């Protein structure tokens, strides 16, 4: 952007397909997070772009979705009231991952759970489940055969693909008394697994 201040609200954007085919974003997203309209307007170029390209679409959808008396549906009204913000911005998640050098993601729908670390500078799409985890040990546990079997038992299916739901994450029995040696061994195996996967992907 010619307006350098706007670069502060422009982020690489990663979806599920990109994650599964190399993990490199090829698109960007404007994210004003929870900034109010006055704060967002300080990023002049970005704000003007959203005003031209997003606001008319939200106004149109609000009008099209109104009932016969002209009452706008609550969700359209909410989107229109904060038209400069992402519809589903996930501000709580962003505030947490911004504190980390990287975080874990998985595609919400996949034939097999594939976990990938991505930079905290990248914004995840709503089709990615993100985890506020940056350590190799957690990656190793989630990539283990134990977690794969748990995943198969607990996930719902969309055609032949599994869907990663909260029921998997919230119920998975993480190791409760791992020793330092065990944690280090899992972390080392996780690093080697990622190295081998990177080689295979070439």
Q: In the block, which residue shows the tokens 């190793």?
A: 140
pLDDT of res. 162: 76
Distance CA 151, CA 157 (A): 11
Residue range 105-157, pLDDT digits in tens: 998 887 788 899 999 999 998 888 899 999 999 999 999 999 988 888 887 76
pLDDT of res. 1: 47
Tokens representing 16 are: 């599920």
Give the pTM.
0.83
Q: Is the pLDDT of residue 158 over 70?
A: no
Who's near 159: CB < 8 A, 6+ residues apart?
A: none
> pLDDT band at 96, cuts 50/70/90?
very high
Who's near 198: CB < 8 A, 6+ residues apart?
A: none
pLDDT of res. 3: 67
∠ Cα 35 39 41 (to 5°) = 115
Report for 62-71, 100-109, 146-155: range of highest mean pLDDT: 100-109
Lowest mean pLDDT among 9-23, 76-90, 186-200: 9-23
Distance CA 158, CA 36 (A): 38
Query: Considering the chain, what percentage of its residues have pLDDT values greater than 90?
Result: 56
């Amino acid at each position: 952007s010619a307006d350098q201040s706007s670069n502060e609200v422009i982020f690489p954007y990663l979806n599920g397909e990109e994650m599964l085919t190399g993990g490199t974003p090829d698109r960007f997203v404007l994210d004003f997070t929870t900034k109010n309209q006055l704060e967002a307007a300080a990023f002049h170029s970005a704000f003007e772009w959203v005003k031209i390209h997003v606001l008319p679409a939200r106004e149109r959808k609000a009008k099209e979705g109104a009932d016969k008396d002209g009452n706008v549906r609550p969700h359209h009204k909410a989107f229109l009231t904060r038209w400069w913000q992402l519809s589903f911005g996930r501000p709580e998640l962003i505030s947490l991952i911004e504190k980390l050098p990287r975080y874990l993601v998985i595609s919400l729908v996949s034939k097999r759970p594939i976990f990938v670390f991505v930079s905290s500078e990248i914004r995840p799409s709503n089709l990615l489940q993100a985890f506020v985890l940056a350590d190799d040990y957690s990656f190793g546990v989630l990539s283990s055969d134990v977690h794969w079997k748990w995943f198969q038992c607990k996930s719902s299916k969309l055609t032949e693909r599994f869907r990663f739901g909260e029921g998997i994450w919230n119920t998975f029995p993480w190791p409760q008394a791992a020793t330092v040696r065990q944690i280090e061994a899992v972390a080392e195996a996780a690093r080697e697994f990622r190295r081998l996967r990177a080689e295979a992907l070439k």
